[in-house]
Each structure stands twice: as structure tokens, then as C-alpha cells.
Structure 1
Amino acid sequence: MALQHAVSGERIALQRGEDDIANFTSIALIKTDHMELIRLVVPVDKPMPEHRVEGEITLLCLEGEIAFEAHGRTTILQPNEMVYLAGGEPHAIGAKKDAVALLTILLHPGDNSGGPTHK
């Protein structure tokens, strides 16, 4: 069954479910030709290893505490703090406390891959 993405004007709930942290339940909320919006769940014990994304990204911490590694340093994000990263920059994401974030990836026209490329 194909994942249903939100359509223009549709309300999107960002709160996590009871089992999201235990099951690493991240979900692509919206995907268009130009951007992808993902509710990202990052448990403390399941960091994302270093990877690259071709498009520019923003990562907004909604809950918990995120350790974002890029440019040779670690930035700690608390709820309502965000970081921007240029496309193609290697980065890693971990959680100091179980976390939920909103990840936006700007896709290049005609490039719908948007997915990470591990270094």
C-alpha cells in the first residue's frame, strides 16, 4: 500500500504516537517535485550515521534533544530550535533525549530521490 501524503490545505498532526520512539516511526508527510517534509523520530539508542542529502535541509526540534553533527562540530537542538544545512554537506543526527523533529528537504527540480546517500 502506498503512503498517503498530505495534500494542499490539509491539516497535519505532528505529535508522536505512544510507540513511535520504540519503533523509530518516521514518516514522510508531504512530497512534491521541490520538497519533502518528514516527521523524524530519533530515539537515544538509534542515531542516524553520517550521510548526505543532495538538497538543502532544515531540521526543527519539536520534542526531546537532538545532537546535529556537521561542519566538524555538534549543535544541540532543544524544542523550538532549528538548524539549516546546505545541500550535499555530510551530517549525522542523534538524540541526547528521545526526540521528534520536522525535517524539510528541498529537492532539485526533476530529482525526487531526496533520500540520504551514506558516505
Structure 2
Amino acid sequence: MALHHAQHGEVVHLSGVGVDEDGAHTTALVKTGAFEAIHLIVHAGVVIPPHHVAGQATLHCLRGRVSVLLPDAAAILQAGDWMYLDGGEEHGIEGVEDAALLLTILFEHPTASTVG
């Protein structure tokens, strides 16, 4: 079955996405050549091991609380907090409380050359 991605102008109600799962659960909301938006549920005590993504990313904590595990430190995100992550930089996530995050990954594009 193909995964449904949001279409232009479509309203997606995030509070009902992936809430009945145990552990960590991701739902891709939309993916284009420029970016990907992912709804991420992380339950208390669950650890997403250190990893990296190729593009620059942002994490917006919608509810709950997580610890973002960085190479030299950890940062707590709670509801309403937002964080920027450089592309290629390692990070992990640990659920402090049941949490929901909006992850956005920006992809690199070659610049179009202009003819003049």
C-alpha cells in the first residue's frame, strides 16, 4: 500500500497521527525535491540511536519532552521548543515524556544556471 503524502492545501490533523504506537513512530507527511516533513512520536524511555541526515533539519516539539543527544551535550525540548540541526551532524533522541515532534529536513538543490 502506498503511503499517503499531503497534497497542496490539504489539512493534516497531527494530534491523531501515530498516537497509538509503542516506542517511536514516524509518519512522513510530505516529501518533495526540496524538503520532507515527518511527524515523530517518541514515548518516554525510548531512545532513537545517534544518526545523521544529509540535509539541514529542524525539530519542533509539539507536546511532551525529549532529550536531543548531540556529540558534546544533550538539550531538552519541550512543547513549543524548536531546534535547528546542521546537515550531516550526528544526533539522537530520547523520550523524557511521551512526545510528538515535527521534523523538517531541507534537501540541497543544485542552483540553476542562467543563460545571459
What's the TM-score, normalizing by structure 2? 0.86
Give 1:5's aligned amino acid: H
Structure 2: unaligned runs, 5 residues or longer: 111-116
Q: Looking at CA atoms only, which structure, 1 or 2, has the larger radius of gyration?
A: 2
- Do structure 1's residue 46 and structure 2's residue 42 form an aligned pair? no
Moved over 6 A (4+): none
Task: Supply the distance in 1 between the matched residues of 2:95 and 2:75 (Cα, whole angstroms).
Answer: 11
Q: Please report the TM-score for the alignment, with normalisation by the length of structure 1.
A: 0.84
2:80 corresponds in structure 1 to 80
Determine if the alignment matches structure 1 residue 32 to structure 2 residue 32: yes
Matched-pair contact (CA < 8 Å) for 2:24–2:48: no
Gaps of 5+ in 1: 111-119
Counterpart for residue 99 of structure 2: 99
- Matched to 2:49, the amino acid is P
Alignment partner of 1:3 is 2:13: no
8 Å contact from structure 2 (residues 45, 96) kept in 1: no
For these two proteins, the number of residue pairs brought into alignment is 109
Aligned letter for 2:20? D
Aligned to 1:113: none
Q: How many Å apart are 1:24 and its aligned residue?
A: 3.2
Q: CA RMSD in A?
A: 1.6
Q: Percent identity at matched positions? A: 40
